[in-house]
Chains A and B, each alone.
Chain A
Amino acid sequence: GAGVSQTPSNKVTEKGKYVELRCDPISGHTALYWYRQSLGQGPEFLIYFQGTGAADDSGLPNDRFFAVRPEGSVSTLKIQRTERGDSAVYLCASNNRGRADTQYFGPGTRLTVL
């Protein structure tokens, strides 16, 4: 079946602008995760959804970052007043059980803030 998809694959924006990044998880997966990967580092956890609710948003760096999953499927990561330090690859992953289960990743969105 189809894997996790993310759009856009690349996003270039100017400092101070607002961006939205979209994730389509594997059909039927109830758990959805967002991670951010900076150059030379491993992915860092941002937020976890179980169904429609954000069960853990402890990884969001500040209040400029927000994510939603209104119908328990597609999720959107929203970044306000972007800064150059937000430049990274944003990865989305999903699975069906949450804890202690393999997470399946999408290809990521490369965000560049000029």
Chain B
Amino acid sequence: DQQVKQNSPSLSVQEGRISILNCDYTNSMFDYFLWYKKYPAEGPTFLISISSIKDKNEDGRFTVFLNKSAKHLSLHIVPSQPGDSAVYFCAASGPGSSNTGKLIFGQGTTLQVKP
């Protein structure tokens, strides 16, 4: 039972354009969401997070949007740069996952930004 889903395994965009990565979840008890970026042979690196009391959080070129009614979140990268090419993971946690802070990850989306 996949509680966090990233249905697009890959995405390719042109440098300078917007990248939109999507994530859906099924557990309405999740109250904290994060995006991580992962380069080959490295651990995931934290990118941006959002609490369920918000619907948007911005940090520079990265914005995360949360739609609780649709159980959907998205990561927008504007403008996209070749260095953004990596695997992006969406993750969630909440009291429904035993209140320990353990993260439930999606399968990841591989983003390729072409120069």
Contact = CB atoms under 8 A, between A and B. Distances in A.
Contacts of A45: 102-104
A99 B103 contact: no
A91 B49 contact: no
- Which bucket holds chain A's interface residue count? 20 to 34
Interface in A35-80: 35, 40-45, 48, 50, 55-56, 58-59
A105 B43 contact: yes
A105 B100 contact: no
Contacts, number: 73
Interface string B99-112: 11111111110000
What's the dominant secondary structure at chain A's contact region?
A: loop
Indicate the member of A42, A44, A48, A99 with the most B CB atoms within 10 Å: A42
Interface of A: 4, 31, 33, 35, 40-45, 48, 50, 55-56, 58-59, 91, 93, 95, 97-108
24 contacts: A31-B101, A33-B102, A35-B105, A42-B4, A42-B89, A42-B91, A42-B105, A42-B108, A45-B102, A50-B100, A55-B100, A59-B102, A91-B44, A93-B43, A97-B101, A98-B100, A98-B101, A99-B99, A101-B101, A102-B46, A103-B103, A104-B46, A105-B36, A108-B42
